[in-house]
Structure 1
Amino acid sequence: MLKFNAHLGFQFNEWPFLQRIEAAAAAGFRAVEFPSPYEFDASLLADHLAQHGLPLIQFAAPAGVSKGLAAQHGKEQEFRAGLAQAVRYARTLGCSDVHIMSGVTTRDDAASTFGGNLEYAVKYFEDQGLRPLIEVISAQEVPGYYLSDFDKAQQVLEDFPSVGLILDLYHAQLLTADAAEVLARFYQRTVHVQIADCPGRHQPGTGSMDFPALFAALEQRGYSGWIGCEYRPSGPTVNSLEWLKRLGA
């Protein structure tokens, strides 16, 4: 059976952040993710997660003000300091998967900067027992985001065998109009899946994506990872979960 986790950056925004953990558990979720835990003490977050029995699936290294630092020329030291902070949080939160966000940039040397920073991050995380993740984020959602196409991601995955892929099927649909093909192409390197319907980025059933077929494809391939609900609820979060109840998940 497929496993779905709450995304606390998108869901349960009716509550202050720490209360979202309790709300997600009350709604029946068995795990959560959120990109940036750094405004809270790591031990406080760990206590809240443990109290409600919710493991943290993945989070991001500090992303600065431009949706990431890895492709940002001149911010290499800030990037490395952020990796060290991410390691400290990962240990306290019991989470071994950390997303390395490329960031928004239009510089011609972004590829070189990104490659050098990612090489450093891969080795550093390997030494710390963590797994670096990347994600393709569409330019429609984040204009200027460096890692915004799957050909770039393919090259990263070829260059760095230990890097895992967060496959966001919403971004895949926006970029290619064929999320199913992207899933088939990248399944072997996918360690986490995220979903939202397209268009609109709301819950499944509000757009035109064929989620029954996508979920069936994941089940047929024996996918055992989590599926993050990274969508904007079209109303109160609890009311947006009817699709999940129908799946029996």
Structure 2
Amino acid sequence: MLNFNAHLGFQFTEKPFLKRFEAAASAGFSAVEFPIPYDHEPSVLFDLLQEHQLSMVQFAAPVGLTKGLAAATSRDAEFRGGLVKAVEYANRLQCCNVHLMSGMTIAGALCTDGQTYLDNLHYAVDYLADHGIKGLIEVISATEMPGYYLCNFDLAEPVLEAIPELGLIMDVYHAQLVSGDGLGLLKHWIDRIHHVQVADWPGRHEPGTGRLKFAQVFSFLQRVGYEGWIGCEYRPLIATNEGLSWLNQWGVIPKSSLRSPKENSF
């Protein structure tokens, strides 16, 4: 059975951010993700998660204006200091996954370097592991985020080989953009994938609105026994609730039955 979580940065944006937790729970989700929790006190977010019986799947370490700092030269101290804050939030939100974003160049404001990236990831993975947290990376297409350092799988491959403890977020939409074969990359990297995200291509809307073969994507994940979460990181074509019907064929069950991603499905 597959386990789908809401992405509060993309879904339910018709509502103020703090109201999206209730909206996600009312729609039947038992888990959420969003990249930046730091605009709110962790106690506020924790109370909302508890009130609506939601689990927190993953969020990013502090990213600044450059969408991350892991690959930023001469900013090691800032990146590593941000991990302290990430651990504080992860512990309070009972979240065991933190995305270590590489960073992007904005008008020359950030210089990136492969060795810096590798060194920082080694440090981060060890530091997070000491607190029971797994570090994750994600390939993000330059089409969606121009200047992002980790923009293809040729860059990701040596990093994943060098750091076996590092997990991979496989966003099928980004994978399609960078390779033209999102399903192929999903199959190739399945042993390293710790979290999946979905959106159709083109348009980045709900599965079923574009040309990606999601029946094959989800059937493959079922066949290999994938037990992690699948984040709905897409831009709803109309309103969020109106576009959730695509989930029905993948085993929607009452929210009261949803708990651990290893035991249930959305």
Q: TM-score, normalised by structure 1?
A: 0.97
Equivalent position of 2:40 in the other structure: 40
1:188 maps onto 2:188 in alignment: no
Secondary structure of the residue aligned to 1:187 is: coil
Deviations 1:206-249 (A, max 9, x none): 11000001100000000111100000001110011111124332
Report whether the alignment pairs 1:3 with 2:3.
Answer: yes
Classify the secondary structure of the residue corresponding to 2:189.
Answer: helix
Q: Which residue of 1 aligns with 2:139?
A: 136
Tell me by how many angstroms 1:144 deviates. Answer: 0.9
CA distance in 2, matches of 1:111, 1:160: 14
| Structure 2: runs of 5 or more not aligned | 253-266
Q: Which residue in 2 is equivalent to 1:74?
A: 74
Q: Between the two proteins, what is the percent identity of the paired residues? A: 55
Q: CA deviation at 1:120?
A: 1.3
Q: Where in structure 2 are the equivalents of 1:66-145 lying within 5 Å?
A: 66-105=66-105, 110-145=113-148
Q: CA deviation at 1:47?
A: 0.8
- How many residue pairs get aligned? The number is 249
> Secondary structure of 2:67's partner?
coil
Instruction: Tell me, in whole angstroms, the C-alpha distance in 1 between the residues paired with 2:21 and 2:68.
Output: 25
What RMSD, in angstroms, separates the aligned Cα atoms of the two structures? 1.2
1:51-90: CA deviation from partner (whole Å, max 9, x where unpaired):
1110000110000101111111122121111100000000
TM-score normalised to structure 2 length: 0.91
> CA separation in 2, counterparts of 1:18 and 1:152?
36
Amino acid at match of 2:212: M
What amino acid maps onto 1:4 in structure 2? F
Deviates further, 106-115 or 83-92 = 106-115
| Letter of the structure 1 residue corresponding to residue 150 of structure 2 | L
Counterpart Cα distance in 2 of 1:196 and 1:54: 22
AA at the equivalent of 1:228: G
User: What 5-or-longer segments of structure 1 have no aligned partner?
Assistant: none
Partner of 2:258: none
What per-residue deviation string (whole Å, max 9, x for no partner) do you get for residues 145-190 of structure 1?
A: 1001112111111111111000000000111111111011100000
State how far apart, in whole Å, the 2-side matches of 1:134 and 1:49 are: 24
* Cα distance in structure 2, aligned partners of 1:99 and 1:26: 27
Quick one: which amino acid aligns to residue 35 of structure 2?
A: P
Q: Which amino acid in 2 is paired with 1:199?
A: P
Structure 1 runs of 4+ aligned residues shifted over 2 Å read 105-109, 245-249
- Aligned partners of 1:46 and 1:139: how far apart in 2? 34
CA-to-aligned-CA distance 1:18-39 (integer Å, 9 cap, x gap) = 1000000000111100111000
Q: Kindly state the Cα deviation for residue 109 of structure 1 after the two structures are TM-superposed.
A: 5.4
